[in-house]
Structure 1
Amino acid sequence: MMLYIAEKPSLGRAIAAVMPKPQHKEQGCIRLANGDVVSWCIGHLLEQAEPEDYDPQFKKWQAAHLPIVPEQWQLKARKGCTTQLKLLKQLIKQADQLVHAGDPDREGQLLVDEVLAWAGASHAKIAATQRLLINDLNPAAVSRALAQMKPNNDFKPLSVSALARSRADWLYGLNLTRAYTLQGQKGGYKGVLSVGRVQTPVLGLVVRRDNDIADFVSKSFYQVLAHLQTETGEPFTALWQPSIACEPYQDEDGRVLVRELAAMVQRKITNQPAQVEAVERKQKKQAPPLPYNLSTLQIDAARRFGLSAQQVLDCCQQLYEQHQLITYPRSDNRYLPVAHFADATKVSQAIAVNQPELQGAVQAADLNRRSKAWDDSKVEAHHAIIPTVKQVALSRLTATEQKIYQLIATQYLAQFYADAITDEVRATIMIAKGVFKALANTERVAGWRVLFRKEEVSNSKGAKVTDDNTDVAVQTSLPALIVGQTLRSLQGELLEKQTQPPKHFTDATLLAAMTGIARYVTDPAIRKVLKETDGLGTEATRAGIIELLFKRGYIQRQGKQILATLTGKALIAALPESAALPDMTAQWEAALTAISQRQQSYQQFMAPLLESLQQMIVQAGQSVPEGLPQGQTLSAGRAKRRITRKGYRKNTSPYEKRDRVRLAAK
């Protein structure tokens, strides 16, 4: 008997749908006509044991116990999962061949591997286990995946990286939460100070941004715009570029702070001859944007529709599981297997049916054109999020589901459109020995941009100048200038502007900060390493981390803005800087990626972690947090139960349950 173990019931049903019939459905599994069985997990069936499971004395929080480090790690059945675990154990024992059908990510790999080990499967049976990777729940895609199974041992590093992450989060979150909660109690604080290696740096980003805004003092700076005219009367504008001699009057960003200096330049260039010093013409090509991964989809949806990261993720799960309209949504990849190019016609036809607004876009697409998105060398366990060949009536989708599907479909169709081509002209003008610059961008070929016209802001006529005085004056067109040409500076215009504080985070910008965390890393060496492999959290957990901070009362919304609460600010103030900065957790993510790619071992990751944890526990005991708000908050037990066990909606998906367990320690 061959046993297929899926991550969740919906995936199990999708596998069974293409298997021999008739089938017999039982509680927790489906028996196939040929004697094989399809069963499933419900997200994580197992979870890390509690400290008191190792030693009853750990149930009481005491500084003398810290750090708590298990000598032999233990897993236990998650509440409500005992029956399914028992069934799987029985089926694993009976099976001649096992097929691992967890989702194609590191958590999906680990949660089935854990069950196989917990059930006591023999080494031979585990060694012979096959890996089934499904990114699309439609029957044709599932059948194709079944024909392309691989040895499960090939994915062992992915499982090891997830195991290392799970244990490290347990060690870090549990020990530091206890350490700082106990110290907070010494200062009269009655609640739990929850610390996590991901949630705390994310909170730190928000707190520091809020503090920067609160401490910001606006100052005036000045620019000079020259209004120019050619001999034939063609007008355009150019922006003054301060010389080295002006540096004493500029700030660190090159902005001129002395009005008298700018006013003098304004007077000097009014009604003066000018000459074209240089003209540079370039043709710029811009390839279509790659298909979405989860983070880029969440960022775009937040910017365009004001949706939270969690709303986008929940919507994607519906489109994937219930409607089967998109491929696996928790992907961190933006590329596609070359084999998928053959499905372009069927996918495009489905888009035209599912989203009538895109029928014209489908008709105009060149389905023989292949963008750089199709690249086998950049596809691993999962690929970009794209539409499937499934066709459904538009009325079956909610308004939000329609919006998200249209985003995904439009991004996919863009792969079959030409590059956007722009003619760029930069001109350098000399006026009264001063340097002025102008820039014009003229669209030559719209290409894929025609798909996004509704989202684009129409170009304004004339010039626009940014707050950085090193920029040029940008306009839609420039006269046909040539080097040495004589012009006339009709008048100089003095522009007085105010420096602006940074903006509060929104869902889109906070997600972007989490995915591009290298920008916020203080150590230059770490920043350099993380430019390609950075990120706070994973594609699957970032939305949950943000929601977790809301639930714990550390951040709040004001319209689209995300701000820290008094509790959140006080917590960050109480922690050492290293706990609130992204450096450490960014290093963790890089190390976990290295483990999954066989470039680092489990031991190489855990050994330095245990050493630094001991030091952080000592540091925590050396000071009592101050400034925390007083009042009743969740107890330790209630906080954990609320996060990891209770409060599920009636139809909460196995994904959400899986993520809540995982996020509890973060």
Structure 2
Amino acid sequence: MRLFIAEKPSLGRAIAEVLPKPLKKGEGFVTAANGDTVSWCIGHLLELQAPEAYNPAFKKWSHEHLPIIPEKWLLTPKRNTSKQLGVLRSLVKQASSLVHAGDPDREGQLLVDELINFLGVKGDKKAAVQRCLINDLNPAAVSQAVANLRRNQDFIPLSTSALARSRADWLYGINLTRAYTLQGQQVGYKGVLSVGRVQTPVLGLVVRRDLAIAAFVSHPFYEVWAQLATATGERFKAKWQPSAACQPYLDEQGRNLSRALADNVARRISGQTGTVSRLQREHKKQSAALPYSLSTLQIDASKAFGLSAQQTLDICQELYEKYQLITYPRSDCRFLPTEHHSQAATVVAAIEHNLGQLNGQAIATLPLNLQQKSRAWNDTKVSAHHAIIPTLKRHSGLSKAQGQVYGLVSRNYLIQFMAPYEFASTEVEVSIAAGSFIAKAIEPKVEGWKQLFPKRSAKAGDPAEDADQLLPNLTKGQLLSSLQADLLEKATSAPKPYSDATLLAAMTGIGAHVSDPAVRKILKDTDGLGTEATRAGIIELLFKRGFLLRQGKSIVATDTGRIFITALPDVATTPDMTAQWEAQLTAIAEGRGQYQALMDPLTEQLQAMTLASRSVVPTQLKGLGTAKVFGKKKRARKKTSA
């Protein structure tokens, strides 16, 4: 008997549906006519043991026990899934061969691997385990995956990477959470001060942004705009570019802080003659954006519809598991395998049935070229999973939010078959009284894929900032009349608080928030802070633990979050350390790194960090916190950690 072990019931049922009929349903499994059996986990059936499992004395939190470093790691069955574990234990014993059908990512790989190991599978039976990689729950895609099984041993590095991540996060979180909670208790803080390898740097991002906003002092700056006219009366505007001689009067962003200087420029150029000193015209083409990864979808859903990262992930899981309308959603990839291109017509037909229209346009009338292959189809950039795209499935009756997310996924798929956006880009430099003035204009020529996106509204306020102005047909050396110049006084503005979209963007592009070039390079080459699967959960975790709160669309730190971050060492609150971890985890997953290369230095680091924590006395936390936030142990969502 061949046993497929799926990660969750919905995936197990999808596999069973493509096996020979009739199917016989049992409790926790399905058997096909040819004897093949499908069973499933319910997320992780196993979890790392609590510290007291290694030593009963560890049940009491004490600095004397820290750091807690298990010599031999222990797993224990989760109570609420022990029944299904029993089903799998019996089936694994009966099976002549096993097929690993976990989700196609490092956590999915570990989830089933650790079960196989826990149930004592050894020798030839373990060596013969096969791997089934499923990104799409539609029958045709599942059938193809079942027909193209791979050796599970080929994925050992991926599993080892997930194992290292899991154990390292346990060590880091358990030890530092205990260390700083004990210090908080000394000053009267009520509750747990949790520390995590990812969650704490994310909290640090928000705290530092809040502090920057609070410390911000606005100052005025001044712009000069030349109102220019051709001999035939055509008019346009050009902005003054301060010269090197003006450097003492400029801020770090190159803005002029001197009113007197701006007044002088405005007086000198009014009523003068200008000359077109440089003229650059280019016809440009802009290709469509790639299909979505999870984070890019979450960012756009937040901007467009105000959905939180967790809401978008939950909707994606429903669209994937319940309705089978999209492919695997926890993907960090934005590319597609070339074999998918042959399904384009059927996928588009499904989108048309499910949505009817996008951005006010009937999908049937869109100028799609289904023979076109955009840069999205690239086998070399697809690993275990590909970009999130619609499936062949047809369905009616989605909720408003489900339709919104499905619409975004569909839009970014459809634009792969649309013409590029074409525009004329013009930049003109005009010399007036020895000063330089620049005018820029964008003139759309071919709307292309942009017709599926909302039109950009004109900027409110200052008309001099009108990005949509059209320039007359100019030539280099042409003389222009400089009319009355406009002097505009503006004020610098504070950084904006984080929103779901901008916090996610900061986590994915975390390299922009570090100053060390070496660390920035590592972060650029990795996924940033957290992974596609964990980011939403980490943000929600910080809310649940009382470190963050929402103010409208803004995400800000609570007093507890702010005081806690200022009490912690910088190494715990900045992304530098997690950048090093992610680089090592990626190396392990790719077979270039070793498990011990991550774990050994971490053990030494925890020795120093737990010792240093004893000198931290966060007196400002007195009276804060609430035991209710941490009183009940809630079931953790799958793949939410750190």
TM-score, scaled relative to structure 2: 0.97
Q: Hey, what does 2:414 align to over in structure 1?
A: 413
1:81 is paired with a residue of what secondary structure? Answer: helix
Deviation at residue 76 of structure 1 after TM alignment: 0.4
Q: Hey, what does 1:589 align to over in structure 2?
A: 582
Partner Cα distance (1:56, 1:33) in 2: 50
Partner Cα distance (1:305, 1:385) in 2: 19
Letter of the aligned partner of 1:48 in structure 2? Answer: L
- Map 1:571-590 to 2 at 5 A: 571-590=564-583
Q: Hey, what does 1:569 align to over in structure 2?
A: 562
Deviation at residue 187 of structure 1 after TM alignment: 2.1
Structure 1 window deviating more from structure 2 (492-501 vs 350-359): it is 350-359
Q: Hey, what does 1:469 align to over in structure 2?
A: none
Letter of the aligned partner of 2:376 in structure 1? Answer: A
- Map 1:252-651 to 2 at 5 A: 252-358=252-358, 360-363=362-365, 364-393=367-396, 396-452=397-453, 454=454, 456-458=456-458, 464-465=464-465, 474-631=467-624, 633-634=626-627, 638=631, 641-642=633-634, 644=636
Contact 1:99 1:132 in 2 (8 A): yes
Contact 1:236 1:462 in 2 (8 A): no
Q: Hey, what does 1:65 align to over in structure 2?
A: 65
Contact 2:188 2:622 in 1 (8 A): no
Partner Cα distance (1:329, 1:448) in 2: 24
Pair 455,324 (structure 1): closer, same or farther in 2 beyond 3 Å: farther
Pair 427,47 (structure 1): closer, same or farther in 2 beyond 3 Å: same
Pair 184,420 (structure 1): closer, same or farther in 2 beyond 3 Å: same
Deviation at residue 627 of structure 1 after TM alignment: 1.1
Partner Cα distance (1:164, 1:151) in 2: 22
1:531 is paired with a residue of what secondary structure? Answer: helix
Partner Cα distance (2:339, 2:29) in 1: 32
Partner Cα distance (2:364, 2:389) in 1: 15
- Map 1:121-136 to 2 at 5 A: 121-136=121-136
- Map 1:18-33 to 2 at 5 A: 18-33=18-33
Deviation at residue 590 of structure 1 after TM alignment: 2.2
Contact 1:461 1:476 in 2 (8 A): no
Q: Hey, what does 1:658 align to over in structure 2?
A: 638
Partner Cα distance (1:632, 1:205) in 2: 21
Partner Cα distance (1:123, 1:550) in 2: 46
2:80 is paired with a residue of what secondary structure? Answer: coil
Partner Cα distance (1:68, 1:459) in 2: 57
Letter of the aligned partner of 1:528 in structure 2? Answer: K
Partner Cα distance (1:636, 1:346) in 2: 49
Partner Cα distance (1:165, 1:69) in 2: 15
Contact 1:226 1:239 in 2 (8 A): yes
Deviation at residue 531 of structure 1 after TM alignment: 1.6
1:314 is paired with a residue of what secondary structure? Answer: helix
Pair 235,510 (structure 1): closer, same or farther in 2 beyond 3 Å: same
Q: Hey, what does 1:470 align to over in structure 2?
A: none
Pair 242,637 (structure 1): closer, same or farther in 2 beyond 3 Å: closer
2:537 is paired with a residue of what secondary structure? Answer: helix
Pair 450,369 (structure 1): closer, same or farther in 2 beyond 3 Å: same
Residues 575-598 of structure 1 show CA distances to partners (whole Å, capped at 9, x for unaligned) of 111111111112212221221111
Contact 2:106 2:159 in 1 (8 A): yes
Letter of the aligned partner of 1:59 in structure 2? Answer: K
- Map 1:215-234 to 2 at 5 A: 215-234=215-234
Letter of the aligned partner of 1:588 in structure 2? Answer: W
Residues 455-488 of structure 1 show CA distances to partners (whole Å, capped at 9, x for unaligned) of 53257899643xxxxxxx8443211111111110
Structure 1 window deviating more from structure 2 (625-634 vs 185-194): it is 625-634
Partner Cα distance (1:246, 1:565) in 2: 43
Contact 2:336 2:378 in 1 (8 A): yes
Partner Cα distance (1:460, 1:562) in 2: 25
Letter of the aligned partner of 2:456 in structure 1? Answer: E
Partner Cα distance (1:553, 1:167) in 2: 25
1:481 is paired with a residue of what secondary structure? Answer: coil
Pair 365,192 (structure 1): closer, same or farther in 2 beyond 3 Å: same
Q: Hey, what does 2:153 align to over in structure 1?
A: 153
Contact 2:3 2:92 in 1 (8 A): yes
Q: Hey, what does 2:12 align to over in structure 1?
A: 12
Q: Hey, what does 2:114 align to over in structure 1?
A: 114
Letter of the aligned partner of 1:552 in structure 2? Answer: R
Letter of the aligned partner of 1:429 in structure 2? Answer: V
Letter of the aligned partner of 1:604 in structure 2? Answer: A
1:390 is paired with a residue of what secondary structure? Answer: coil
Partner Cα distance (1:46, 1:643) in 2: 13
Partner Cα distance (2:206, 2:622) in 1: 18
Deviation at residue 534 of structure 1 after TM alignment: 3.7
Partner Cα distance (2:580, 2:214) in 1: 30
Q: State the aligned residue count.
A: 639
Letter of the aligned partner of 1:610 in structure 2? Answer: T
Residues 423-482 of structure 1 show CA distances to partners (whole Å, capped at 9, x for unaligned) of 111111000100101111111111111111x253257899643xxxxxxx8443211111
Pair 391,635 (structure 1): closer, same or farther in 2 beyond 3 Å: closer
2:427 is paired with a residue of what secondary structure? Answer: strand
1:225 is paired with a residue of what secondary structure? Answer: strand
Q: Hey, what does 1:165 align to over in structure 2?
A: 165
Partner Cα distance (2:357, 2:238) in 1: 42
Residues 193-241 of structure 1 show CA distances to partners (whole Å, capped at 9, x for unaligned) of 1111111111111111011001000000001000000111110110000
Partner Cα distance (2:585, 2:368) in 1: 40
Deviation at residue 604 of structure 1 after TM alignment: 1.2
Letter of the aligned partner of 1:220 in structure 2? Answer: P
1:83 is paired with a residue of what secondary structure? Answer: helix
Contact 1:273 1:487 in 2 (8 A): yes
Partner Cα distance (2:42, 2:461) in 1: 57
1:443 is paired with a residue of what secondary structure? Answer: strand
Residues 351-393 of structure 1 show CA distances to partners (whole Å, capped at 9, x for unaligned) of 1100011473344211011100000000000000000011112
Pair 106,455 (structure 1): closer, same or farther in 2 beyond 3 Å: farther
2:274 is paired with a residue of what secondary structure? Answer: strand
Partner Cα distance (1:381, 1:632) in 2: 43
Deviation at residue 523 of structure 1 after TM alignment: 1.7
Residues 411-432 of structure 1 show CA distances to partners (whole Å, capped at 9, x for unaligned) of 1000001111111111110001
Partner Cα distance (2:138, 2:325) in 1: 8
Pair 142,534 (structure 1): closer, same or farther in 2 beyond 3 Å: closer
Deviation at residue 511 of structure 1 after TM alignment: 0.5
CA RMSD of aligned residues (A): 1.6
Over the matched positions of the two proteins, sequence identity in percent amounts to: 57
Letter of the aligned partner of 2:75 in structure 1? Answer: L
Instruction: Mark the runs of 5 or more structure 2 residues left unpaired by the alignment.
Output: none
Deviation at residue 407 of structure 1 after TM alignment: 0.7
Partner Cα distance (1:643, 1:628) in 2: 28
Deviation at residue 501 of structure 1 after TM alignment: 0.3
Contact 1:570 1:629 in 2 (8 A): no
